[in-house]
Chain A
Amino acid sequence: MRSLFVTFCYASFFIVGVVAPFALTLGYLWVDSFFPQALAYSIITDLRVSQIIGIAAFAGYFLLDRRDPPRVCLITVLLVLLAGWVTLSTFFWAVVPGPAVDRWNVVVKTLIFAAFIPYVIRSRVQIEAFLQIWLFGFAINFLPPGIKALISRPTYGHDLGIATTSLSNDARLAMIALMLVPIILFLRRHTKILPVNWLTSAMYLTIIVMAFGASYGTYERTAIIVAAVLAALTWLTSRRKVLFGVALAMLTLLGAYLTPTDWQERMTTITEYNQEASAARRIVVWEWTFNYALEHPLGGGFNLYYSNQLGGVNPDGSKGGLAYHNDFFEVLGEQGWPGLAIFLVLIATSVFYLRGAARRARRFPHLAWCRDLATALQMALVLQLTGGSFIAMGFHPPLYMIFALAISLREYVHRVEKASERATGAISGFAERGIASSAQLSG
């Protein structure tokens, strides 16, 4: 039954995609975050679900839906450049070629799809549908652990999620769940697809509570840092700062009262980073990666950390690798200084695009949603990078979805500007002709 239902959901994207090709792109996003092949027991478990819908999305766009393509912009160029660079590093100088090719296979699809998204996601409805599908696709990873953590007593390392999904109960789950909070708040305020009423609002607020619940249930210190940054950013953007500040202080006190002692003890180890083994190991691996990049400026290819021998002992007695635990060191070690430069410019350009879109949208009162979305995406980006300072997610899809949405939003505002100028010009033309004909009649 579960397999049948998941297969039906997957098939729905193809059925709707016949009349609305952008649904196929949403389908790829859904597969990428919902993992239907992992949730089903049969029918689609042996299918290459992601590949099939990915090809369908490209075919749908090129055959049926090529209207109003975006301008070629710096982010698109950088994404393609990064895809080319990771391909070179993988096939020409990767230190661990086998695992590097496996990782390349995933990353290059993420990069190409991120460059493709702005071609398909153009209108307001499409942008919102993208956000909704992203949310409800990913929500399956944090809703079950969220409610379980809130009604039971979780412990560190205890997986509360659906066992078959690719994201286990770790810092990545916490970070992405919290990163989605600004986007949920945006959808709650500006949704056009779902009816705007108390039920929808309550649903979104419940999802936010679950996101915090899931983050708490992971017992990850990264989660509390991301949550603190989220609280600070939300306070900064709130209109009622005093009221929000008081509510936040009360929630913090309530959290401190309700959370178990072992959770609080684990969180307090953040301040003991120089004595704590996990933090010390991170500093060691960052140092190793930096030194490696000095000696090998072009990087060592994907999964380079397998070779650093800083991790635990393998069953065969050899020492394993220790992961980077940081986005920037991950990109630096694997793709060298050129890769890091592209990565940093991508982030900076996204912020620049989002701020520019918000500024230009100010001229149009009906584009308040664009300003709010630009703010929500900037917050999501900051939260991604905050979490990414402690876990390595430099090549994971969420970051690249934000880059893609930055282009979509920028292009949306640009198209509205152009169309409005044409509309204003057309009306002025009519007005001038009207005044001229009135003058002739009176003369």
Chain B
Amino acid sequence: MIDIFFIMFTGVMAVYIIVRAALLDRVEPWYEVTPEEPISPTQPYPASADRGPGRHVAAGQNLAPRDVDTLKRPRTGG
């Protein structure tokens, strides 16, 4: 009985983890990017960086379109 319970528990956890990881992998940034130096409030901001000074910047935000492209777009099939 204990064995069955643990087979069920570990199996369900494994399935839950892969499903959740697959979902997160599609929505979460692959790399948690922040600029090394925090943005100073006195500096002018680009149009895309209007989230306030000193905020952490997730991948894909505050980057030039070329950088966003490199980070996010999957290259499939080699």
Contact = CB atoms under 8 A, between A and B. Distances in A.
B31 A65 contact: no
Interface string B44-78: 11100100000011010011100100010011111
A193 B24 contact: yes
Interface string A122-151: 111110110011001101100110011000
A159 interface: no
Contacts of B67: 419, 422-423, 426
Nearest to B6: A143
A255 interface: no
A427 interface: yes
Contact of B77 (A63, A147, A194): A63
Interface in B1-42: 2-4, 6-11, 13-15, 17-22, 24-26, 28, 30-37, 39
A129 B11 CA distance: 14
A19 interface: yes
Contacts of B3: 144, 162
B10 A16 contact: no
A419 B35 contact: no
A426 B62 contact: yes
A140 B36 contact: no
Contacts, number: 168
Interface string A51-83: 000000000001111111000000000000000
A2 interface: yes
A39 B4 CA distance: 10
A239 interface: no
A420 B35 contact: yes
B31 A132 contact: no
A363 B36 contact: yes
A162 B7 CA distance: 10
B14 A30 contact: yes
Interface residues of A, number: 66
Contact of B33 (A144, A193, A194, A419): A419
B25 A20 contact: yes
A427 B47 CA distance: 11
A242 to B, nearest CB: 34
B78 A192 contact: no
A190 interface: no
Q: Choose among B17, B34, B39 the residue with the greatest number of A CB atoms under 10 Å from its CB.
A: B17
Given A136-B10, A434-B44, A26 B18 contact: yes
B31 A147 contact: no
Contacts of A420: 33-36
Contact of B6 (A9, A22, A144, A416): A144
A421 B67 CA distance: 11
A148 B34 CA distance: 48
Nearest to A370: B32
A55 B46 CA distance: 47
Given A16-B22, A434-B43, A144 B31 contact: no
Contacts of B2: 144, 147-148
A378 to B, nearest CB: 22
Contact of A136 (B13, B24, B56, B57): B13
B43 to A, nearest CB: 5
A44 to B, nearest CB: 13
Given A193-B20, A426-B63, A66 B78 contact: yes
A136 B15 CA distance: 10
Contact of A125 (B25, B71, B78): B25
Nearest to B39: A427
A20 to B, nearest CB: 4
Given A63-B77, A66-B76, A438 B44 contact: yes
A240 interface: no
Given A9-B11, A23-B21, A423 B35 contact: yes
Q: Choose among A19, A39, A136 the residue with the greatest number of B CB atoms under 10 Å from its CB.
A: A136
Contact of B7 (A2, A20, A27, A68): A2
Contacts of B7: 2, 5-6, 39, 140, 162
B20 to A, nearest CB: 5
Given A16-B19, A423-B57, 13 more contacts: A5-B11, A6-B7, A8-B15, A27-B18, A34-B10, A123-B30, A144-B2, A193-B20, A415-B31, A416-B31, A422-B67, A423-B33, A434-B46
10 contacts: A12-B18, A66-B75, A67-B76, A129-B17, A129-B21, A132-B17, A144-B2, A420-B35, A423-B57, A434-B44
Task: State the 6 A-B residue pairs at the shortest beta-carbon distance, nearest first.
Answer: A434-B44, A20-B22, A129-B21, A430-B46, A123-B30, A424-B35
Interface of B: 2-4, 6-11, 13-15, 17-22, 24-26, 28, 30-37, 39, 43-46, 49, 56-57, 59, 62-64, 67, 71, 74-78
